[in-house]
Every structure is written in C-alpha cells, then in structure tokens.
A and B are shown apart, each in its own frame.
Chain A
Amino acid sequence: MLSGNLLWVLLGTMLLGIAAGITGTFSFLQKQSLVGDAAAHAALPGIAIAFLLTGQKDLPILILGAAITSALSVYCIQWIVSFSKMKADAAIGLVLTVFFGVGVVFLTIVNHSPLGNQSGLNDFIFGKAATMTKVDLTWLFISATIIILVSLLFYKEWKLLIFDPVYAKGIGLPVEALKAVLTILIVLTIVTGIQSVGVILMSALLIIPAVSARLWTTKLSSMIVLSATIGGISGLVGTFISSLRTGLSTGPIIVLVAASIFFISYLISPAGQINKFLRKKQFRKQGEVG
C-alpha cells in the first residue's frame, strides 16, 4: 500500500508540518497568528497573476508570485496600522479579504482565458498533496529544510527579540532586520505549504501546533520542539488518512488531526482544563482543612 510516491509525499508533508510548527511558534509569541492567516490568503492573487504573466504552471514562478503578494499583504497591514487610526484586527481583516478578492478576480480571468488546462490553479485553494509530483516535492523538501535551518540559526536572536525587544535594541541587534527575516520565513512557510494544504488552511498549520505546544510548556526551546513534533505528526497522519480514500482533500484532514491534538492538549496538558479543575478542588479542600 505504501507506494514509493506516497512515502515521499508523507515525508514532505511531515517536513512541512515541522517547518510550520517552528515558524508558527515565533509568530504566535509575537501575537501575530492572524497576520499569517492574512498572508496565506494573500498568496492567491500572486499565484494567479504569475500564471497570467508567464502563461505557464511553472511552480517556482507561481511560488515567487505568491511570496510577493503575501509579503506585500503583511507590509500593507503594518502600513495601515501605523498610517491610520484603524486597529490591527480590522486592518488584518480588510487586507485579507481584499487580497483574496483580487485573487478571485485574477483566478476568474485565468479560467476564462484560453491558456490550456488551468484547473490545477484551483487546487491552490484547498491543496492536493496526494497528487504532488517529484518536482513539487523537491521544492517542498528544499524550502522546508531552509526554513528549519534558518530558524535554528536565528533562534537566540529571535528569542531576545520576542521577550525583550528593548534590551535587544540596546545591545545593538538589528531588530527591524531580524523581524523582516522572521516575516520572510513565515511567508516562505506559507508558500511552501499551499500546494499541499491550500491557502485557506495553511494558517491552521502555523497556529494550531504552536497553541497546543504552549499548553504543555513555558520554555521556548521545548515549545519549539513540541510544536514541530505536533506539526510533523499532523502532516504525516493527515496525509496518510487522506491517501486511504480517493477524492479526500489533504488539507482539511491535516488540520483536523492538528485540531484533535489541540483538543487533547486542552484537556490533559499541565495548563489544561482537567488539571485546572483538580487544582481548584485541592485548593478548596485545603481551605476547608485550614
């Protein structure tokens, strides 16, 4: 049952989950989870425009287009927040939907144009990991490896940036540049993942593993390891389940596996509900004795 290609797809989505788990942790701690959501939606116009300009379904070009519009959307959000009295959540929501709307516009233009078979572009919305080719997978492997390595490289600097930005600036770290690298890496994670899980659900892979890991630990290093593990397991198990039956999109199943892990963590982790309940009970008992 485990054909050669499936094995590679499983490895690929696992690697993707690991990468998203790592970058997602940093964006979660910067309270920017939903910015990643916006950037993921904003990949759509980039893909469609890149295809319209070149007329080819050439993956590197599509991914470049996605990266440009994703990064642009993050920049737009920051610009709106600093330039107007609009709050961050409204800015994120506005940028997200307008970029997605522009994406739908260009996608419709592509579908109306006589450019041969473009049905593959629609797959970018929900993702189709099962039908990924060798070339797609090679890209996935390279880019996931880059994300993981760069994250490890900048680990110390980002740690400081997140928990004590003033001190980081004080000792002469290039704070803005470090933030930019983090944004680029998050965008890279998103565009790496959209082929397998799609633009709409990619944000889930950035958010859910990080939130689940946070319930288990308060230490950054163990949080990253846990988040990466949860992301990796979600990718692996989700893809495996979806490969059992044809016609099932991979993205939703990967997300549901991640959601189940979150739900379990929410109940039984040290910061989870059962523990909280028991602590409360014990506390009350002590009160009665005293």
Chain B
Amino acid sequence: MIEFWVIFTGLLVGITCGIAGVFLILRKMSMIADAISHTVLFGIVMAFIVTQTLNGFWMLIGAAIAGILTAYLVQLLHSSGIQEDAAIGVVFTSLFAAGVLLITLFASNVHLDVEHVLMGEIAFVPWDKWTLLSITMPKAVWMLLLVLLINIGFLVLFFKEMKLATFDAVYAASIGVPIIFLHYGFMTSISFTTVAAFDSVGAILVVAMLIGPAATANLISKSIKQMFLYSMLFGGAAAIIGYYLAKFWDTSIAGMMATAVGILFVVTLLAQKIVDRKRKSLVGKLEGL
C-alpha cells in the first residue's frame, strides 16, 4: 500500500505538471516557472511566519502570492528596460536568498528545512495523511488532486483564450481577451502546481516535470491537443520509470524522476531525428525513380 501511494503520487505529479507545462513551453515562459519554483520557498516561509502553522492551505496561498509577485516583478523590471533573462535572474535569486535566510532565522526548528522543500522526499508522503469526506489519503495526494482539478478547470474555461493569447497576443488583446488576467492566472496555477508537488519531488525538480514532458511532447506533436496528451503520458512515464530506477539503485526518487525526464527527452529527440532521416532518404529514393 505504501508503494502504491508513492507511485500514485508520482503519477499525479507527472500528469499535473504535464498539463501545466504545455502552455509554459508554447508561451516561452520556462524560465519564469523555474524562477517561481525557487521563490515559492519565500511564500511558504512567509505563510509559516504569519500563521505559525504548516497548513497546506496557507502554503498554497503563500505560494500563489509569491508566484504572482515573481511574475509581476519580472514584468516590472523587464518593462523598465532590463533584459528579460537578467530580470528573471535578479528577482528569483533575491527572493530565494531571502527565503533561505528567513528559514534559518525563524523556522529552523520546524519541519520546514530547505533541503526538503528543494528536493522533496516522496518516500515520506504516505505517512502524512488527511481524512476528508471519510476518505483517508496522503496529504500530498489530496493537494495534487486539488491542483490537478484547478489546472483542468483553468484549461476547460480558458482553452480558446489561452490558445489565442499564446499564438497571437496582439489579435487576442484587440478582440478583448483579458491577456493580463490570463497571464497571472496561469502563473498562479504554476505556483499551485509547484507547492502541491514540493512535498514529493521538491521545488526545483518540479521544474523538470513542468518543462521536460511538454518539451518532449512538443517535438512530436502536430496539434495542441496531441501535445497535452503526450505531455501527460511522458510526465506519468517519467514518474514511474524514475521510481523504479530509484528503488533499484536505492537513491533519491525525485532526482531519478528528473533524470528519467532527461532520458525520455534525449531518446525521443534521437528517435525523431532517425525517423526524419529515414523519411528524407525514402523521399529522395522515390524522387530518383
């Protein structure tokens, strides 16, 4: 049963991140997600300092605020003439440093150690349980299910608008699509995803799950819907492959999942190149006939 919960949690992380990652890749916001994954630490610590509890709900709120703050500050610096990559670099390293410092100053005696937040420990997930509606499941599973629902809800409600805002922002704005609302709404869902996953795969490695599967799917997809499907498949597969590799070598599960993401990407990229080359040589042959 313990193993089931660990694998199930991993699978949920893979699927949730797989969904969230698609527009991240298409909107070229991967590095803002990376920045947010660092700054949620600041949000979680602030939530702890204000409420003095490690309640998941307040953590979500804190992370959402930190995520929006990150996106807002990057936008602010960028619009006042600072290169975007440098703006991202300044904002997230500063907030991250503040988060690390606040933990050592105010929260070093609680279960909130920095390494846990950054690298996660999925093996501990099954022991921290919540009972809701007389169903008892690990806390991480509840949080992930909630965030998965939020992510799916966001997509169902705004799929058309997101698509338009992603591929033709000017046109979208001109016909009245609320681009700014979509931007910050999306960044909030990325922050939620990061917090829900940090218990299991850690804040930094969640970015591997956010970017990797969607990028891999992008290599072989011909439509956005296909990309969503492949992205979830790659995310889920990376989680399961990562879990068993980690079990085999008795090492970090989160780290192995990120490694599996990398392996899946490289294999897909190479396979795609080989198929491409074969197709080209076949076409060449046919033309020669």
Interface residues of chain A, those whose CB is within 8 Å of chain B, are 28, 31-34, 37, 41, 80, 83-87, 89-94, 96-98, 100-109, 112, 122, 125-126, 200-201, 203-204, 207-208, 210-211, 214, 247-249, 251-253, 255-256, 259, 262, 266, 271, 273, 276
1/0 contact string of B71-95 vs chain A (CB within 8 Å): 0000001001111011111100110
- Tell whether, in the assembled complex, residue B212 and residue A201 are in contact, meaning their CB atoms are under 8 Å apart: no
Task: Using CB atoms, name the residue of chain B closest to A276.
Answer: B80
Contacts of B218 in A (CB 8 A): 85-86
1/0 contact string of B248-276 vs chain A (CB within 8 Å): 01111011111101100100010001000
- Tell whether, in the assembled complex, residue A90 and residue B28 are in contact, meaning their CB atoms are under 8 Å apart: yes
- Tell whether, in the assembled complex, residue B212 and residue A253 are in contact, meaning their CB atoms are under 8 Å apart: no
Given A203-B93, A208-B90, CB of A86 within 8 Å of CB of B104? no
- Tell whether, in the assembled complex, residue B93 and residue A90 are in contact, meaning their CB atoms are under 8 Å apart: no
Given A34-B85, A101-B205, A211-B86, CB of A259 within 8 Å of CB of B251? no
Q: Which of A85, A94, A248 contacts B211 (CB 8 A)?
A: A94
- Looking at chain A's contact residues, the main secondary structure is helix
- Tell whether, in the assembled complex, residue B212 and residue A112 are in contact, meaning their CB atoms are under 8 Å apart: no
- Tell whether, in the assembled complex, residue B204 and residue A94 are in contact, meaning their CB atoms are under 8 Å apart: no
- Tell whether, in the assembled complex, residue A112 and residue B250 are in contact, meaning their CB atoms are under 8 Å apart: yes
Q: Which of B87, B255, B257, B269 has the most CB of A within 10 A?
A: B255
| Interchain residue pairs A-B with the least CB separation, the first 4 | A101-B258, A104-B255, A204-B93, A98-B262
- B66 vs chain A, min Cβ distance (A): 16
- Tell whether, in the assembled complex, residue B93 and residue A101 are in contact, meaning their CB atoms are under 8 Å apart: no
Task: Using CB atoms, name the residue of chain B closest to A35.
Answer: B85
- A71 vs chain B, min Cβ distance (A): 17
- Tell whether, in the assembled complex, residue B82 and residue A252 are in contact, meaning their CB atoms are under 8 Å apart: no
Q: Which of A37, A100, A249, A251 contacts B258 (CB 8 A)?
A: A100
- Tell whether, in the assembled complex, residue A97 and residue B94 are in contact, meaning their CB atoms are under 8 Å apart: no
Of the four ranges (under 10, 10 to 19, 20 to 34, 35 or more), the interface on chain B belongs to: 35 or more
- Tell whether, in the assembled complex, residue A108 and residue B252 are in contact, meaning their CB atoms are under 8 Å apart: yes
Interface segment among B30-38, B139-147, B182-190: the answer is B30-38
- B82 vs chain A, min Cβ distance (A): 6
Contacts of B254 in A (CB 8 A): 101, 104
Besides A98-B265, A105-B256, 9 other A-B contacts (C-beta < 8 A): A33-B86, A34-B31, A90-B25, A96-B207, A98-B212, A101-B261, A248-B104, A252-B98, A256-B94
Q: Which of B29, B97, B256 contacts A255 (CB 8 A)?
A: B97
- Tell whether, in the assembled complex, residue B219 and residue A93 are in contact, meaning their CB atoms are under 8 Å apart: no
Q: Offer 24 A-B interface pairs, CB within 8 angstroms, sorted by A.
A: A32-B85, A34-B89, A85-B219, A87-B28, A90-B30, A91-B215, A93-B211, A94-B208, A94-B215, A97-B205, A98-B208, A100-B204, A101-B254, A104-B255, A105-B259, A107-B252, A122-B115, A201-B93, A208-B89, A208-B90, A208-B93, A248-B101, A249-B101, A266-B77
A256 to B93 alpha-carbon distance, docked (Å): 9
Q: Which of B33, B90, B251, B269 contacts A83 (CB 8 A)?
A: B269
A126 to B204 alpha-carbon distance, docked (Å): 14
- Looking at chain B's contact residues, the main secondary structure is helix
Given A247-B104, A253-B101, CB of A105 within 8 Å of CB of B28? no
A232 to B119 alpha-carbon distance, docked (Å): 31
A84 to B273 alpha-carbon distance, docked (Å): 9
- Tell whether, in the assembled complex, residue A259 and residue B90 are in contact, meaning their CB atoms are under 8 Å apart: yes
Q: Which of A105, A126, A200, A271 has the most CB of B within 10 A?
A: A105
Q: Which of A89, A100, A249 contacts B28 (CB 8 A)?
A: A89
Task: Using CB atoms, name the residue of chain B closest to A104.
Answer: B255
B152 on the A face (CB < 8 A) = no
- Tell whether, in the assembled complex, residue B94 and residue A102 are in contact, meaning their CB atoms are under 8 Å apart: no
B114 on the A face (CB < 8 A) = yes
A93 to B208 alpha-carbon distance, docked (Å): 7
Given A104-B254, A201-B97, CB of A86 within 8 Å of CB of B215? yes
A249 to B204 alpha-carbon distance, docked (Å): 19
A20 to B156 alpha-carbon distance, docked (Å): 46
- A194 vs chain B, min Cβ distance (A): 14
